[in-house]
Structure 1
């Protein structure tokens, strides 16, 4: 049976980071520890960030691997990490919501576009960042998918 793309164990609330690299490693670590990716995927996420930032505006970043990182993906997965105090993604871009993605084939593109739609509304990003529970985050993300 395929793993759930987003389960409660993929969500972490109220985490603090000193740097963008630490934040990306943390997000990748969740995907790794929960069996979505091989260890090398985390390096590919950092590589991807060097090519172009995954900061999307509205205090949101969507770290993911490079195009050639697909072979490091075991299952399509999603992780959500809230950073209430924010982490600097460079150029004064402060990120409070991290959505890490590992996609097999093109499956992740649909997920990416759904997240982009949800998070294009600043109030949704605020709701997610201020969520008091993992269930609340899943509810907000699932409401929009319904």
Structure 2
């Protein structure tokens, strides 16, 4: 069971970024500023994303990314969500170096327990395979609606 709730203060609507590194820096800074992650978290995210890309395409053909890094960069577990103003290319999970996904939504994970991380990733991927869930998130009018949708889906 996932016990990590999405909080309104970790949801960013219309996140403006030109590159995946800029997305990671902006959302990662939010995690650090709110006390969820430690110094070094952003650099670790960027390095891990180079080695192990996290871009996926949902059943609704919405590009998403689920960047994360090692638990020792994390104080408290949290999920930051960024709805991108414009699509940003991320590497395809399990793909070749030049396989890209046009990402619209980023779910940035800060997980301080490796067992919790696997469970959360499984729940997220399960959510991405459900029709219309990500469409509802994209069409949400405010952070509260997004938080409600995500917490309903992730707390099973």
Q: TM-score range by the shorter chain?
A: 0.7 to 0.9
> How far apart, in 2, do the equivalents of 1:77 and 1:125 lie?
19
> Alpha-carbon deviation of 1:122?
4.8
Tell me the C-alpha RMSD between the 2 structures: 1.7
Aligned residues: 140
More helix by share: 1
Structure 1's unaligned 5+ residue stretches are: none
1:27-64 deviation line (CA, Å, top 9, x unaligned): 21121111111020111101111112110223110011
1:102 and 2:103 equivalent? no
Aligned counterparts, 1:28-107, within 5 A: 28-58=28-58, 59-65=63-69, 69-90=70-91, 91-105=99-113, 106-107=115-116
Question: Which runs of 5 or more structure 2 residues have no equivalent in the other structure?
Answer: 92-98
- The normalised TM-score by structure 2 is 0.82
Give the TM-score normalised by structure 1.
Answer: 0.87
